[in-house]
Chains A and B, each alone.
With several copies, the nearest count.
Chain A
Amino acid sequence: MPFAVVLGKAMTELPRDLYIPPQALEVFLEAFEGPLDLLLYLIRRQNLDILEIDVSAITEQYMRYVELMDAMQFELAAEYLLMAAVLAEIKSRMLLPRAVDTDDDEEDPRAQLIRRLQEYERFKKAAEDIEELPRVERDTWVGSAEPPDLNRVRTDAEVDMRELLLALGEVLRRADMFESHHIQREALSTRERMSEVLEKLSGRQFVPFVALFSASEGRLGVVVTFLAVMELIKEALVEIVQTENFGPIHVKARSE
């Protein structure tokens, strides 16, 4: 599978020589997980063991990549620049005559670099190993079967009214952030009645308007039912039908 298409030409592998078509540079860099990965690639391309790297040659190559990136006006990742500095330091040290008894506290940057490369390579490999492990949802699936009918002693979770209110308060706060929702205070008895009316209407064609009211509920009950029907009409949940003047009024759920 090509990892990049450059000037209409599919590139199937990383370039063998140092020259990278500038258009491919970005993709090329994305193929690496950072400066250590790039360095490892440069070393491997020379078929070298990490321990045998010619720091000088690798530094040259790395620097030319970095320069190329710079020329491309890439915003160089700090990590790549930092590595360039490390390599530059190593190179400069190698050019200088070495004092026989340097302070022991300071570690040789070459050894440090090699160790970092080795350490990184171990985990690069470990990541590949993990990728190979048989995994659920790709290589295997956990088996299950339909449980038998259970006379489950249902132990339902307890809910405290405060939890419910807390949850609602949370939704409202969130909803406030999206200003399109406004939940204003309304008489809940109307809402409750709306549900009841809808239920009465469900599965039936037309229900006489008067059948929705019950005298036993008294004046307040009638008012609540009336408000509920009005609200249902407003929300286009029911429609009112009257076939002739002063004829009986019927109510019908819109969707039935």
Chain B
Amino acid sequence: MSETSTTLIQILEGALLAAGRPLTVAQLGELFEEHERPPNADLREALGVVAERCTDRGFELVEVASGFRYQVRQSLSPWVGRLWHERPQKYSRAMLETLALIAYRQPITRGEIEEIRGVAVSSNIIKTLHEREWVRIVGHRDVPGRPAMYATTRQFLDYFNLKNLDQLPALAEIRDLETLNAELGFNEPLPAAAAQHAEVENLSGPDETSPDHGMTH
């Protein structure tokens, strides 16, 4: 490795630790004066070396939604966790289910969340999600009352160690109602309308999608 790139690697290491938050390749590039700024490819290559240099260390370099950051290896959490006296916060099922719906179905209104969960969503849950900056309002649905539509934020992804929404665990498949009709406790065939819904179901959510525009996820 050339001398310059050794310096480059050290600069990246130092900056990532000094920042204490994720930094994007662009932000790392801005550490350099314009005339000495390495091309992004070099930065990425250097980041690769930074990551390699963590082999066998108590920390690793990971890429999350807001960029690259050093973080403590998960296997060490039993010990490192003792640095803090409070136990990590537990989130209620109601809150996690609401968050899951926002994450997988965004943009989604509170009413739509309630429809799927079958119960009211408490304002406290929405408030907490806002305060944690895990969700934000991205617009209002053009229906009476113009309810707010929620989506997740980069901070949500960062917090759960994700680079993007695609990295969320896959939603469980739903079996096709039509073909399983025989197994149902029902004796008669389903009416056509129900069968149609069942098809749509496989493609999109319970949202207002009509069978005509079957949108794919």
**Is B truly associated with A?**
yes
Chain A residues with a Cβ under 8 A of chain B: 33-37, 49, 51-56, 77, 79, 83, 98, 102, 104-108, 110-112, 114-116, 118-153, 155-175, 178, 181, 183-189, 191-192, 194-196, 198-199, 201-202, 236-237, 253-256
Q: Which residues of B contact A173 (CB under 8 A)?
A: 175
1/0 contact trace for B13-32 toward A, CB 8 Å? Answer: 01011111110000000000
Task: Count contacts on B: residues with CB < 8 A to the other chain.
Answer: 91
- Contact B99–A164 (Cβ < 8 Å): yes
- Contact B165–A189 (Cβ < 8 Å): yes
Q: Which residues of B contact A162 (CB under 8 A)?
A: 181, 184, 186, 190-191, 194
Give the Cβ gap from A118 to chain B, nearest Cβ, in Å: 5
Contact A107/B132 with A148-B74, A164-B99 known, Cβ cut-off 8 Å: no
- Contact B193–A104 (Cβ < 8 Å): yes
Answer yes or no: B103 CB below 8 A from chain A CBs.
Answer: yes
Lowest 10 CB-CB distances: which A-B pairs, in order? Answer: A144-B20, A195-B151, A34-B119, A143-B70, A167-B96, A168-B100, A141-B18, A143-B17, A111-B194, A254-B142
- Contact B103–A199 (Cβ < 8 Å): no
CA distance A136 to B88 in the complex (A): 9
Contact A120/B116 with A104-B193, A164-B100, A198-B149 known, Cβ cut-off 8 Å: yes
Q: Which residues of A contact B215 (CB under 8 A)?
A: none
- Contact B118–A79 (Cβ < 8 Å): yes
Selected from B118, B142, B149, B159, the residue in CB contact (under 8 A) with A135 is B159
CA distance A37 to B175 in the complex (A): 19
- Contact A140–B89 (Cβ < 8 Å): no
- Contact B172–A125 (Cβ < 8 Å): yes
Chain B residues with a Cβ under 8 A of chain A: 14, 16-22, 59, 69-77, 80-81, 83-85, 87-91, 93-94, 96-97, 99-101, 103-107, 115-120, 132, 136, 138-142, 146, 149, 151-152, 158-162, 164-166, 168-172, 174-175, 177, 180-181, 183-186, 188, 190-195, 197-198, 201, 205-206
20 residue pairs of the A-B complex, CB under 8 angstroms, read A33-B97, A35-B119, A98-B188, A108-B194, A111-B191, A111-B197, A119-B116, A126-B169, A127-B96, A129-B168, A145-B72, A146-B69, A148-B81, A149-B77, A166-B197, A183-B105, A189-B166, A194-B151, A237-B107, A256-B139
